[in-house]
């Protein structure tokens, strides 16, 4: 057997075991055996890159950073569903259907997964593109992130159409969500709010390696372009299952609306038994021919309807309102409630978001309020029982001073929150900034969590994050819960953090609006903290993805003398305040060129193309402007980009033309 044949055989075997484990929940080999086979394939791919396969199971671990997401137009529009909240709504819907369809109508009933919608495109049985719903016409190309999900087959077995789309929801199972939050809390980070938003946010992470670490699953519910292989919605679901997609067993073929109601009633009662969240049931006309007859409105298919479950709600008394201070100084009001059972847990507190929300609800102390669990996880107040309000009940006056340090609060025009401006002397802000500094995606200091930070601050051992680098074992040992080993681990973790690259140090500083991606862009562009400190607003907004709000925040941060003193201390302790991940330079052939990469490519992945451009001295930019030198365009380049490039007269090169040019110059 040749090397190429060995690699092909290993890929086929690993793909099958992936499906048995992640889709069918029926593993045939141990994790150790799987890992050994995977390691063998990785070794072969490293030694023989000429036999690389973009759909190899080794790509599940993610491929690195993405500089923003390209916009991709859906081959077939992704419509939204009309919602119904009562049986009468469904009866009215069926009556409308029967005015168009003379024959008997059967329905496919499916669970409505609460996640992030995705459209997957397959060509010749291989995944070529994954696009978010967006506005239904176009969305973000998140192919690199979706490739990391084990429940998404990278290749399927025939028979299959030459090209087809399959739609579904990216979800985060409840157990995975709870595990992720346990880790975040242990690291001193804010827990995620609910599985749905966390799944959606995961799709937009810039580093596909981080996506690969999250237990995301893709539940499929629709195949577009396989009419030759399936005549009904029910058949298309079974077809998808046979291809290896994750299609849950919980769907039925209903012969009439009565059977639809039974399905709805059952899952309204039993939905909490599922390992993932649902927020309703989707009812579709089963016949694809009848679907075609019914067609679409401007927004929705006429042949489908979503029945939304009522969120579980409870009534309880609002005892008081307290106010929390975040690391940025933002004030969040919290409702303290008489304990009430809701969705299987005892609820004592609920978010009131901000002053505007309190005014909108006109909620008052002593009111009987209605509480729901948003996404079945986070409690929120959704209304007030005015019939039970006391006649002399006073309106809530939002606080004017910080509850922690008594500094007068400020509220900027256009901002939803009030803020405490006492950045350097307000205890929750001090603790919050240090917790952010040590977090996993920032300095990632092992052995240091939120409770320990609070302990260090309360014992006046640290006042800002630069003080961490002055701590000694003799200072730490007398503290509660600090044993000899934990103290050593903490000191070692602090010392090791000095190796973190510049962009992570910049993110760790906690500049408002400067998240991970912005920090990476700033570090890459300015290359040192000194250059960044000296940058003008015009220079800042010229950087990719940096707008005026971020630029103003960066300038304001470095205008504060206390921040500059802390940075000088951090420099003296050896933290990395210059440099960025180096690019191996092959030539300067593309020096001075700003290049846009757009579309789906056959010879190289988009990331590999971008790396090649940078290796030859070029700069990859995400958006087209009059500064763009040329565009490398693959299949399915967005029409808006094509139109803009033509308008500006920017040259477009195919993948072959670009690679030939590079080879010709090398």
Handedness of CA 88, 93, 98, 104 (dihedral sign): negative
**418 in any annotated domain:** no
Asked if residues 206 and 516 have their Cβ atoms less than 8 Å apart, the reply is yes
- Res. 380 pLDDT band, cuts 50 70 90: confident
Which residue did the predictor score with more confidence, 99 or 189? 99
10 Å CB burial of residue 351 (0-12, 13-18, 19+) is middle
CATH number at residue 554: 1.10.150.20
- Res. 610 pLDDT band, cuts 50 70 90: confident
Asked if residues 73 and 638 have their Cβ atoms less than 8 Å apart, the reply is yes
Same-domain check for residues 140 and 93: yes
Question: Average pLDDT of 620-640?
Answer: 79
Structurally, how many domains does the chain consist of? 6
Q: What is the DSSP letter of 384?
A: E
499 vs 135: CA distance, rounded Å: 42
- Res. 594 pLDDT band, cuts 50 70 90: confident
CATH number at residue 191: 3.30.470.30
CATH number at residue 619: 3.40.50.10190
**583 in any annotated domain:** no
Domain finish residue from 479, 499, 519: 499
Q: Where are the beta strands (DSSP E) in 528-660?
A: 594-598, 619-620, 630-633, 652-654
Asked if residues 277 and 171 have their Cβ atoms less than 8 Å apart, the reply is yes
561 vs 268: CA distance, rounded Å: 58
Question: Average pLDDT of 599-628?
Answer: 80
Asked if residues 166 and 240 have their Cβ atoms less than 8 Å apart, the reply is yes
| pLDDT tens digits, 644-659 | 888 888 999 998 888 8
The parent domain of residue 650 ranges over: 594-665
Same-domain check for residues 156 and 84: yes
**580 in any annotated domain:** no
CATH number at residue 10: 1.10.287.610
Side-chain half-sphere CA neighbours of 309 within 13 A:
27
- Provide the b/e sequence for 33-72 (b: ≥16 CB within 10 Å): ebeebbeebeebbeeeeebebbebbbbbebbebbbbbbbb
Q: 37, 87, 99, 112: which is the annotated catalytic residue?
A: 112
Same-domain check for residues 141 and 222: yes
Q: What is the DSSP letter of 332?
A: E
Q: Is the pLDDT at 373 greater than 50, yes or no? A: yes
pLDDT at 22 (0 to 100): 52
Q: Is the pLDDT at 91 greater than 90, yes or no? A: yes
Q: What is the DSSP letter of 126?
A: E
Q: Which helix (H) or strand (E) holds 257?
A: helix 257-270
Q: Would you call 112 a catalytic residue per the annotation?
A: yes
pLDDT at 399 (0 to 100): 96
Question: Average pLDDT of 75-85?
Answer: 86
Q: Is the pLDDT at 62 greater than 60, yes or no? A: no
Provide the token pair at 483: 């044993």
- Of 226, 249, 248, 246, the C-alpha closest to 236 is 226
- Per-residue three-class SS string for 463-496: CCHHHHHHCCHHHHCCCCCCCHHHHHHHHHHHHH
Q: Prior bond to 159 cis, omega within 30?
A: yes
| Of the ranges 118-122, 348-352, 411-415, the best mean pLDDT one | 118-122
| pLDDT tens digits, 398-436 | 999 999 999 999 998 878 889 999 988 899 999 999 999
Asked if residues 324 and 312 have their Cβ atoms less than 8 Å apart, the reply is no
Domain finish residue from 308, 327, 347: 308
| pLDDT tens digits, 487-521 | 998 999 999 999 999 999 999 999 988 887 788 88
Which residue did the predictor score with more confidence, 6 or 275? 275
Cα→Cα distances 588→527, 619, 627, Å? 19, 11, 19
**87 in any annotated domain:** yes
Same-domain check for residues 230 and 98: yes
Same-domain check for residues 302 and 318: no
Contacts of 354 (CB under 8 A, 6+ apart): 332, 333, 416, 417, 418
7 vs 51: CA distance, rounded Å: 8
**586 in any annotated domain:** no
Same-domain check for residues 477 and 378: no
CATH number at residue 354: 2.40.50.140
Same-domain check for residues 654 and 525: no
Measured distance between the N- and C-terminal CA atoms of the chain, rounded to whole angstroms: 35
Same-domain check for residues 170 and 269: yes
Contacts of 284 (CB under 8 A, 6+ apart): 107, 108, 110, 233, 291, 303, 304
**393 in any annotated domain:** no
**204 in any annotated domain:** yes
Q: Hey, how many other C-beta atoms are within 10 angstroms of the C-beta on 313? A: 13
- Res. 26 pLDDT band, cuts 50 70 90: low
Cα angle value 374/449/199 (rounded, 5°) = 30
Asked if residues 122 and 143 have their Cβ atoms less than 8 Å apart, the reply is no
Q: How far is CA 370 from the centre of its chain?
A: 30
- Res. 65 pLDDT band, cuts 50 70 90: very low
Domain finish residue from 263, 286, 308: 308
Asked if residues 208 and 63 have their Cβ atoms less than 8 Å apart, the reply is yes
Same-domain check for residues 434 and 298: no
DSSP-derived 3-state class of residue 344:
coil
DSSP-derived 3-state class of residue 152:
coil
**Which region holds residue 217: left if phi is over 0, alpha if psi is between -120 and 50, else beta?**
beta
Same-domain check for residues 289 and 304: yes
DSSP-derived 3-state class of residue 364:
coil
89 vs 300: CA distance, rounded Å: 16
**153 in any annotated domain:** yes
Same-domain check for residues 249 and 206: yes
Same-domain check for residues 179 and 283: yes
pLDDT at 375 (0 to 100): 47
């Amino acid at each position: 057997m040749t090397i190429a044949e060995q690699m092909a055989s290993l890929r086929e075997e690993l793909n099958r075991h992936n499906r048995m484990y992640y889709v069918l929940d029926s593993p045939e080999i141990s994790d150790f055996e799987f890992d050994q086979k995977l390691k063998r394939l990785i070794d072969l791919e490293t030694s023989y890159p000429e036999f690389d396969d973009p759909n190899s199971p080794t790509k599940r671990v993610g491929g690195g950073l993405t500089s923003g997401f390209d916009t991709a137009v859906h081959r077939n529009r992704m419509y939204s569903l009309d919602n119904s909240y009562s049986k009468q709504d469904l009866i009215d819907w069926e009556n409308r259907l029967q005015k168009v369809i003379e024959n008997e109508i059967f329905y496919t009933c499916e669970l409505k997964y609460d996640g992030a919608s995705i459209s997957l495109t397959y060509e010749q049985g291989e995944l070529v593109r994954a696009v978010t719903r967006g506005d239904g016409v176009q969305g973000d190309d998140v192919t690199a992130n979706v490739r990391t999900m084990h429940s998404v087959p990278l290749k399927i077995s025939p028979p299959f159409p030459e090209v087809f789309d399959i739609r579904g929801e990216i979800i985060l199972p409840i157990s995975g969500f709870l595990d992720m939050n346990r880790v975040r809390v242990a690291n001193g980070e804010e827990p995620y709010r609910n599985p749905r938003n966390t799944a959606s946010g995961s799709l937009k992470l810039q580093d596909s390696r981080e996506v690969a670490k999250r237990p995301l699953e893709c539940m499929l519910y629709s195949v577009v372009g396989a009419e030759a292989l399936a005549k009904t919605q029910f058949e298309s679901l079974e077809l998808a299952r046979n291809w290896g997609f994750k299609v849950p067993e919980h769907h039925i073929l209903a012969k009439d609306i009565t059977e639809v109601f039974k399905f709805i009633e059952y899952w309204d009662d039993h939905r909490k038994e599922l390992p993932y969240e649902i927020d309703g049931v989707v009812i579709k006309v089963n016949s694809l021919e009848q679907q075609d007859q019914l067609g679409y409105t401007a927004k929705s298919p006429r042949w489908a309807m979503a029945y939304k479950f009522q969120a579980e709600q409870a009534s309880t008394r609002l005892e008081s309102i307290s106010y929390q201070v975040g690391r940025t100084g933002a004030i969040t009001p919290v409702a303290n409630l008489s304990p009430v059972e809701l969705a299987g847990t005892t609820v004592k507190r609920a978010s009131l978001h901000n002053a505007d929300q309190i005014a909108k609800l006109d909620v008052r102390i002593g009111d009987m309020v209605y509480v729901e669990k948003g996404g079945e996880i986070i409690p929120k107040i959704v209304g007030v029982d005015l019939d039970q309000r006391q006649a002399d009940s006073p309106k809530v006056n939002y606080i004017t001073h910080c509850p922690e340090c008594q500094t007068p609060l400020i509220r900027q025009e256009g901002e939803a929150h009030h803020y405490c401006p006492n950045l350097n002397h307000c205890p929750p802000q001090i603790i919050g900034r240090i917790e952010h500094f040590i977090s996993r995606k920032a300095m990632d200091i092992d052995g240091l969590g939120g409770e320990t930070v609070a302990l260090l601050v309360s014992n006046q051992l640290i006042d800002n994050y630069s003080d961490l680098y002055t701590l000694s074992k003799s200072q730490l040992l007398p503290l509660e819960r600090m044993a000899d080993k934990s103290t050593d681990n903490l000191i070692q973790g602090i010392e090791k953090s000095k190796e973190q690259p510049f962009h992570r140090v910049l993110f760790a500083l906690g500049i408002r609006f400067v998240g991970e991606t912005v920090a990476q862009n700033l570090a890459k562009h300015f290359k040192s903290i000194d250059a960044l400190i000296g940058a003008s607003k015009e220079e800042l907004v010229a950087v990719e993805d940096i707008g005026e709000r971020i630029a103003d925040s960066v300038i304001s941060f470095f205008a504060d003398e206390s921040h500059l003193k802390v940075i000088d201390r951090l420099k003296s302790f050896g933290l990395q305040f210059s440099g960025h991940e180096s690019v191996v330079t092959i030539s300067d052939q593309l020096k001075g060129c700003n290049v846009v990469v757009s579309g789906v490519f056959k010879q190289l992945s988009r990331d590999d193309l971008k790396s090649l451009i940078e290796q030859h001295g070029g700069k990859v930019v995400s958006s087209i402007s009059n500064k763009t030198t040329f565009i490398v365009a693959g299949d399915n380049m967005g029409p808006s980009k094509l139109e803009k490039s033509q308008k500006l007269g920017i040259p477009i090169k195919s993948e072959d033309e670009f690679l030939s040019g590079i080879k010709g110059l090398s």
